[in-house]
Amino acid sequence: MGKIIAIANQKGGVGKTTTSINLAASLAYFGKKILLVDADPQANASTGLGVDIEKQEKTIYQCLINTISTKEAICKTDVPNLDLISSDINLVGVEIEIVDAEDREIHMRNALAEVKDDYDFIFIDCSPSLGLITLNALTAANSVIIPVQSEYFALEGIGKLLHTIKLLKNKLNPTLRIEGFVLTMFDARLRHANQVASEVKSHFGDMVFNTMIQRNVKLSEASSYGQPVLQFDADSKGAQNYLDLAKELIERSK
């Protein structure tokens, strides 16, 4: 049975999609069978894996409104062992279409139940909000990874996310847990980056991954070419960081 992990933080620009793409690709490199679900209407995880979203007719949108089966929406990527369910701007409409449904928070859970046993890990790349789609992702997930940017105001908004997770545990998903916080865009040369890292570790202790994702231009360049950094430049610091994070996640999941 696959482990479903939401990658979430309602603060934008913290490296959610970069982490979703590159952690998924790194685990695939280690032979794990991976599905990445793009649950953001901006569809950056889809384009970051080289998918032309203009040509994708079957996306997570249709899965959530129950017009196609989840297996129909799965597409192969150029990364061995890594499949994708893409997104597009139509996903914005889901919140309006299912808001009055009694089961509105469990559409994602129902959709992924169909394919959960086919993968070792399923990652859900969440949008930078705590709207209904993100609530669906957290309700479907076994755990959540929270990327935290290594800059001032890094902890801004995390309290709200943690409160939402607590409410979800009480009402919809009692087994949901925090898989870990991952520090992103870390630059060891900067005093404030080290201060933020210390602050996050003092707040959350063992829940913080040991691996920190260092600021690396290859990560953004890789996305612009529609590739994980491991394909774009396997020798880069960004590629090594995500391989290390993948190893750490495998150890935590044993």
Domain 3-247 has CATH 3.40.50.300: yes
Partners of 178 in beta bridges:
144
* Confidence (pLDDT) at 184: 96
Q: Which CA distances in Å does 30 have to 74, 83, 244, 250, 251?
A: 21, 15, 11, 10, 13
User: Which letter, b or e, does each residue of 57-74 get, where b requires 16 or more Cβ atoms within 10 Å of its Cβ?
Assistant: ebbbbbbbbeeeebeebb
* Confidence (pLDDT) at 254: 83
* Confidence (pLDDT) at 156: 79
Please give the model's pTM, rounded to 2 decimal places: 0.96
pLDDT tens, per residue, the chain with 254 residues? 789 999 999 888 899 999 999 999 999 999 999 999 999 999 999 999 999 998 888 999 999 998 999 999 999 999 999 999 999 998 988 888 988 888 999 999 999 999 999 999 999 999 998 899 999 999 999 999 999 998 878 777 788 899 999 999 999 999 999 999 999 999 889 888 899 899 999 999 999 999 999 999 999 999 999 999 999 999 999 999 999 999 999 999 88
* Confidence (pLDDT) at 83: 98
SS (H, E, C) the chain: CCEEEEECCCCCCCCHHHHHHHHHHHHHHCCCCEEEEEECCCCHHHHCCCCCHHHCCCCHHHHHCCCCCHHHHEEECCCCCEEEECCCHHHHHHHHHHCCCCCCCCHHHHHHHCCHHHCCEEEEEECCCCCHHHHHHHHHCCEEEEEEECCCCCCCCHHHHHHHHHHHHHHCCCCCEEEEEEEECECCCCHHHHHHHHHHHHHHHHHECCCCCECCHHHHHHHHCCCCHHHHCCCCHHHHHHHHHHHHHHHHCC
* Confidence (pLDDT) at 153: 80
- Per domain, the residue ranges of the chain are 3-247
